[in-house]
Amino acid sequence: MSPFSNTPSPPEIERELDAGERLLWTGRPNAARWRNRAFRMWPFAFLMTAFMLFWLWGATAHARSEWQKGRTPPFTSVAFPAFGLFMLYPAGLLWLGPWLEAARARRTFYAVTDNRALIVTTGRKASVQSVSPAQMQIERRDYFGGEGDLILMRVVKGSGEDEKTVETGFLAIPNPREVEQLIRQNLKI
């Protein structure tokens, strides 16, 4: 049971607990905040869609002129523009991104136990991330309105120009300060 709510812990979290492990806190991300973060990609989606439409219009020019003359265009005049249709997939993902992120947030569950922190994501790509106290490097980011992120761990992947830092933690949660204090007190960090 979470000390910040009166709701019982979700079964997605209960399944992951070890024998004798005590649950201290459960939470979920704010789906609206995750959705709004994905809206940052919309300018790129707009540009990509505009380029795709411009490219398709130009690529079909020869085929359109042949059809206007009543002739069948050569295969290459029709096949070449078809490659532009492959750009529909990434453009569609960018346009749908905010709603896909909100759906992912609704399938994400957070928990703090007396041994570790858990991040459980359900769905087709189900995953369970467990962060032990030895791995934790806590950083808190507060948002306006009392919400925030509690970054528990950073891992650097790749090297050189391909180097990328992957952050693991509780994102878009209410009361991140209280959750941080709970972790520091109970997990001795």
Residue-wise pLDDT tens digits, 33-75: 878 877 777 788 778 888 888 888 888 888 888 888 888 888 7
CATH number of 11-30+108-186, picked from 2.30.29, 1.10.1040, 3.40.720, 2.50.20: 2.30.29
* Residue pair 174/30 in contact by the 8 Å Cβ criterion: yes
Residue (of 169, 118, 165) closest to 148 by Cα position:
169
| C-alpha to C-alpha distance for 159 and 20, rounded to whole angstroms | 40
pLDDT at 110 over 90: yes
pTM metric for this prediction: 0.73
| pLDDT band at residue 145 under the 50/70/90 scheme | confident
Q: What is the mean pLDDT of residues 6-33?
A: 86
How would residue 77 be classed by pLDDT, with cut points 50, 70 and 90?
confident
Q: What is the pLDDT of residue 8?
A: 57
Locate the domains of the chain by residue range. Answer: 11-30+108-186, 39-100
Strands (E), 87-146: 108-113, 117-121, 127-131, 139-142
